[in-house]
Amino acid sequence: MATRDPTQNTVIANERNLIQDQSSSHSPTSPRAGWSLAAAATVAATEPGRPTQKEAAVFAFDPETKRKLYEMPLVPGAQTYPAMVAAEGMIFLALDHLCVFDPSKKEALHQAPLPSGAQLDISLGLHSDGLIYGLTSQWTYSLNPRIFAIQEVAKKAGLEEEACEEAIHHDVKMFERTITSPGQKHGTQGPAAASHPVR
């Protein structure tokens, strides 16, 4: 796991070997939940090109103490967690279905089917209207993080995907502003909610 300082355009810290033979690209934060950061991993191939792990895991990491708090498989047999986001003290993971994970209790509280089509990678984000928006290969959908209600918003077209990508890029910019704001430490801070609606 790397911490990057955008003002220096350089990586200022690296935490290695957090999880054996797996890679991770998701790191939602939620101080309200009593943890600093949680991430989902993907089973990675190693020499001679075959995975050594049977399933992907979810783990929590505290960037202040530089310690991994725990690691656990969440969905039996899952090889990857394509998209995840933190909201209302929970982690919402989109696989071939929705899984709502309570990082404090270390358990899945709710599971439900997603709209048809494969969940797209890193395509789940919390919007300023309080809803989570996601993309499958066929649908743009919304998710109410308070009652776990899923609604199909629009059949996939170029406009929906572009709007979601715009919101994700906005989140990245807000993330960089957060970790370089005056009076704050460099570190892994969560991105603010996107201000671009998915239309």
Quote the CA–CA distance of 114 and 55 in Å, as a whole number: 21
Q: For strand 132-136 and strand 97-102, is the pairing parallel, antiparallel, or unpaired?
A: unpaired
Whether 127 is covered by a domain: the verdict is: yes
Please tell me the predicted confidence (pLDDT) of residue 157.
56
Average pLDDT over residues 38-57: 67
Q: Give CA 72 to chain center in angstroms.
A: 16
Please tell me the predicted confidence (pLDDT) of residue 28.
67
Facing residues of 92 across strands? 85, 100
Amino acid at 139: W
Left, alpha or beta for 66 (phi > 0: left; psi -120 to 50: alpha)? left
Please tell me the predicted confidence (pLDDT) of residue 164.
58
pLDDT by residue (tens digit) across 138-163? 999 999 999 999 999 998 655 455 55
Average pLDDT over residues 109-118: 93
Q: Tell me: pLDDT of 98 over 90.
A: yes
Whether 134 is covered by a domain: the verdict is: yes
Question: How confident is residue 43, by pLDDT bands cut at 50, 70 and 90?
Answer: low
End-to-end CA distance of the chain: 34
**Whole domain around residue 44: which residue ranges?**
2-179
Q: Tell me: pLDDT of 73 over 60.
A: yes
Amino acid at 44: A
CB atoms within 10 A of CB 189: 21
Task: Calculate Rg over the CA atoms of the chain.
Answer: 17
Specify whether the CB–CB gap between 92 and 84 falls below 8 A.
yes
Please tell me the predicted confidence (pLDDT) of residue 121.
87
Whether 103 is covered by a domain: the verdict is: yes
Whether 19 is covered by a domain: the verdict is: yes
Whether 186 is covered by a domain: the verdict is: no
Specify whether the CB–CB gap between 133 and 145 falls below 8 A.
no
Whether 91 is covered by a domain: the verdict is: yes
Query: Mean pLDDT across the chain, nearest whole number?
Result: 74
- CA-closest candidate to residue 132, choices 116, 112, 118, 147: 147
Please tell me the predicted confidence (pLDDT) of residue 57.
80
Whether 193 is covered by a domain: the verdict is: no
Question: How confident is residue 78, by pLDDT bands cut at 50, 70 and 90?
Answer: confident
Question: How confident is residue 99, by pLDDT bands cut at 50, 70 and 90?
Answer: very high
- The number of distinct structural domains making up the chain is 1
Show Cβ contacts of residue 98 under 8 Å, excluding neighbours closer than 6 positions. 92, 110, 111, 112, 113, 114, 143, 148, 150
Per the model's pLDDT, the better-predicted residue between 12 and 47 turns out to be: 12
Specify whether the CB–CB gap between 84 and 91 falls below 8 A.
yes
Whether 106 is covered by a domain: the verdict is: yes
| Residue 48 exposure: Cα atoms within 13 Å on the Cβ side | 0
Average the pLDDT over each of 10-14, 82-86, 137-141, 170-174 and give the range with the smallest value. 170-174
- CA-closest candidate to residue 90, choices 128, 38, 14, 130: 38
Please tell me the predicted confidence (pLDDT) of residue 15.
72
pLDDT by residue (tens digit) across 26-39? 666 665 555 566 66
Quote the CA–CA distance of 32 and 104 in Å, as a whole number: 10
CATH number of domain containing 40: 2.130.10.10
Q: Tell me: pLDDT of 54 over 70.
A: yes
Question: How confident is residue 182, by pLDDT bands cut at 50, 70 and 90?
Answer: very low
